[in-house]
Structure 1
């Protein structure tokens, strides 16, 4: 049956029809003797999502059967995200990309999630080159800005661009020397002009070397707040680019716009986690078009279509190695860190200070360097039992794949957050805050005056606050002072549990590290692999005052 289904897909691809939850280009779009550039982006370790890597392999092979010459490229953010990527610090994904036979990749912001040294190790593991025309160390490019591939006498230049937003959306310390000075950069200066100049230089040099076509592999995206570093900004301020394949913002937009000289340029993006595979078609007559192989089924292509590919076995092996990695002991805990009261089964992590809540919040604060941190009780899902702690134990604590972020916030905004967190007490509330770097009292004799909208989102406080005597370290909270606050993107940016007060603030670190990695890094590096007696009991960060004095 699997062979039959795979044959059906092959015929679909050859005949150019859609079905089974996927869609492919029409026969007139992709033909013999075309040069086809297949591209993926923002896979985030999702090797068995959407089309899967097996689907990429099958599509490429069917195009080759039709007579097309195929180049396979990736636009970044492949090595971080799903447990397969995180638990191997990216190496499992690189090995699969080697097996699949990628020709070239550009660098996304999340390639740096494990630090620059680790990324350089991944680059050494890769059988394909990484390119970036703007990632530099002390003004000198770290990678080649472009490569040229020649197919039947046609030279195609691939130019890589990495978003300068990386300095904010990764861990800033990774790009600094020991004195806190930036030594790595992304041509982020001069209101975008430095980036545009770097791109133009790479394009001009590639053309001078004989390139017939210039394809930009960008990790830029279309997020408005990332201006002046979006694909629109780059294309509007450069010339000579024939097509830009893009990533970063996880969109599926197929766009036609004009460059600085008024010439048409195509831009194509393919979403995330293999929900689509993008293509650029260059005909023998020199016509250029872009499009997508979309996958619209909840189940992946291997499950639905029974695809047969060398990638099936490779991905299965990677998942087996993941299971072995999850069983690896990464720490020892001298104490039990509990989410529930053993006597009552009440989820105390949702209505009082707990050792496990303190531990998680401390991890966010120490890894980020923020003034304070907090974690929502609903985001802490499992205990840490006394004894050996495995990677799987940590994954079960934070199973959602949220990302560490840091924003600036006034003391008043922080006070509002603490008040909102305590609004449901004594009932359990997923938005109950476990704090680090901050302590306070909850005066439970005061009824909550928190106001929310119909969706339960925080609007304001219509009376006396229950939360009082708030201290940041040893200093009273100043409502007018600006502090740095660490948590994850669910709370700070996505208004999770109703926390609306931070979403529009300035973010100094934007989705820099997956939550599981935050905990593992804190345990192994800051705690030396031992969760000690300091987490045996709550530490008096939250004090309940039951009567007015």
Structure 2
């Protein structure tokens, strides 16, 4: 009896670790299958590390879609945003080749992510027109007439069932792309994302579209969303939308790069809604299955477990990549150290919540080029690690794929302090694309003090209403003077366009403008200031101690604990 019980437990434990693609059972002829991707960020081709596939590429997506189509005719492929920007193939073609590849792969529907707007509104309109699939959004609106700029939903018939796909774009698109793209020439907003009412305007827009889809005969409602689940995205997270609406059966999500095979979230009426997201860069392909009896499941097919490639799509991608191969593989500099975006110990991204050596390097490049007192680079603008050895042009573009232009402005010490407060408001609990990597300046973030930064409906900076968590700010080794004027170097996205919510710089005097594209700024700094090689001064992956995270109140602060711990460039220290 004991042996039988042990055998049963062993079998049950083994089942618990079976990949979801198999644990959920096989797809059958009457099933509806929706395959989904999100935050691909130009990772178009299969990639591997140490012999293990880390990205299935679009040829892998096409191959898996073909396998599903061989089983059931009821197959759709959708994308949840941020596909066309993020690497050289997107930057150099301003999104064109990504649309071409997605057409070849056979997408049916997609939603705009915030990075779909990075090439400007006119370019996005061109790309949308050339897409063989349909972009959907129930909340991307023309503020002049209140109308949506895309269809809110589409209904597709699978056998005798109708599935409605409702598009939802993040209201963070305004600050997470370039605010000026959503304004007229006078700086008035003419495009919006239903961002008002502390989330209610978005919930209402979604509910209206869901109700309309139901009235049009939809048996199931699948939201294709670019919302995310990070706390910093509240009240516009996918979980917020689910909790404040009814009628949605499934939310396929993007934006926060979260890996969620299947999560059950209660809607406004207390009913279960399935939530899923694939991570990013085609590490996984999502699969939604709707059974004839109405049972709904989602699971993720990992790139490491599925390595098949569609020959036609693979050939097409390689032909496009070959056009840039010589340029992207050209060596432009060297580095004697690994320059990191992720923590080398945990593999988790740190560039958006603490100092890193690549952040130091990028900020130094701007300060050197523009001969400024201080330089800022937003963590979200530093996108890829550079490994020790030769540095190619392609790697530099992967670090800075946005094509921002270097500029400098005059600001007061008070404006600098406000910017540091905004950049650090989520540290260390959550990432922020606006987290500031710095040069010419050092500062502490006292994370035990809750952020008192206030934001407007678009999540742009309004002010600081309470205690400040940024302390001991030093410029060139001297305490910052709130009334003194400093020169600040960065790029147009932050300093001129209010990107990531940095509105405190609006109207600042521009010292130098449009000096050089961001990736060339980095190349020139390494070649000219560092004699072509990044050296030991950047060896510590956690940086040079410019940013210190203080987790507990200092002993000399009345009414607070007697110890203080901080994370600086060298790790954990006490003092």
Task: Tell me the TM-score normalized by structure 1.
Answer: 0.63
Give the conservation status (yes or no) of the 8 Å contact 1:200–1:239: yes
Deviations 1:316-347 (A, max 9, x none): 0120123377599xxxxxxxx9999xxxxxxx
Match of 1:40 among 18, 37, 47: 37
How far apart are the structure 1 equivalents of 2:420 and 2:128?
45
- Residues of 2 paired with 1:168 and 1:196: CA distance? 20
2:348 equivalent in structure 1: none
Deviation at 1:208, TM superposition (A): 0.8
Mark the runs of 5 or more structure 2 residues left unpaired by the alignment: 1-14, 48-54, 336-358, 385-390, 422-435, 447-468, 504-512, 521-527, 530-575
Alpha-carbon distance change, 248 to 488 in structure 1, aligned in 2, over 3 angstroms? farther
1:216 equivalent in structure 2: 223
Q: CA deviation at 1:174?
A: 0.7
Q: How does 1:262-281 map to 2 (within 5 A)?
A: 262-281=270-289
CA drift of 1:153 comes to 2.3
- Confirm or deny that 1:24 pairs with 2:31: no
How big is the shift at 1:59?
A: 1.1
Displacement after TM superposition at 1:125 (Å): 1.4
Counterparts of 1:412 and 1:524 in 2: how far apart (Å)? Answer: 24
Distance 1:55 1:323 in 2: 21
Aligned partners of 1:408 and 1:484 also within 8 Å: no
Aligned equivalent of 1:310, options 309, 312, 316: 312
Q: Which moved more, 1:171-180 or 1:408-417?
A: 408-417
Q: Distance in 1 between matches of 2:203 and 2:445?
A: 45
Q: Deviations over 1:219-265 (max 9, x none)?
A: 00101011100011101110111111111111112210111111111
Instruction: Map 1:43-442 to 2 at 5 A.
Output: 43-48=40-45, 49=47, 50-67=55-72, 69-138=74-143, 139-253=146-260, 254-296=262-304, 305=307, 307-323=309-325, 357-358=366-367, 373-374=375-376, 399-401=398-400, 410=414, 413=417
Cα distance change on mapping 1:286 and 1:399 into 2, 3 Å: closer
Cα offset for 1:289?
Answer: 1.2
Q: Distance in 1 between matches of 2:470 and 2:481?
A: 24
Alpha-carbon offset, residue 28 of structure 1: 2.1
- 5+ long unaligned stretches in structure 1: 1-15, 329-336, 341-348, 366-370, 382-391, 418-430, 441-448, 492-505, 511-519, 528-535, 538-549
What's the offset of the Cα at 1:432? Answer: 10
Q: Deviations over 1:42-88 (max 9, x none)?
A: 00001124121111111111112223521000000000001111111
The change in CA–CA distance for 1:522 and 1:30 in structure 2 (over 3 A counts) is: farther
Aligned-partner Cα distance in 2 for 1:65–1:199: 34
**Which one of 470, 477, 494 corresponds to residue 467 of structure 1?**
477
- CA distance, structure 2, for counterparts of residue 408 and residue 52 of structure 1: 47
Structure with the greater alpha carbon radius of gyration: 1
Q: Work out the CA distance in 2 between the residues paired with 1:129 and 1:143.
A: 9
- Give the 3-state SS of the residue equivalent to 1:24 in structure 2: helix
Alpha carbons 2:374, 2:475 under 8 Å: kept: no
* Deviation of the 1:36 alpha carbon: 0.2
Q: 1:251-286 CA distances to partner (integer Å, 9 max, x unpaired)?
A: 112210111111111111111011111111111222
Give aligned pairs, total.
412
Inter-partner Cα distance in structure 2 for 1:433 and 1:239: 45
C-alpha spacing 1:261/1:311, structure 2 compared with 1 (3 Å): same
Counterpart of 1:508?
A: 501
Deviations 1:95-128 (A, max 9, x none): 0000011001011011001111111111011111
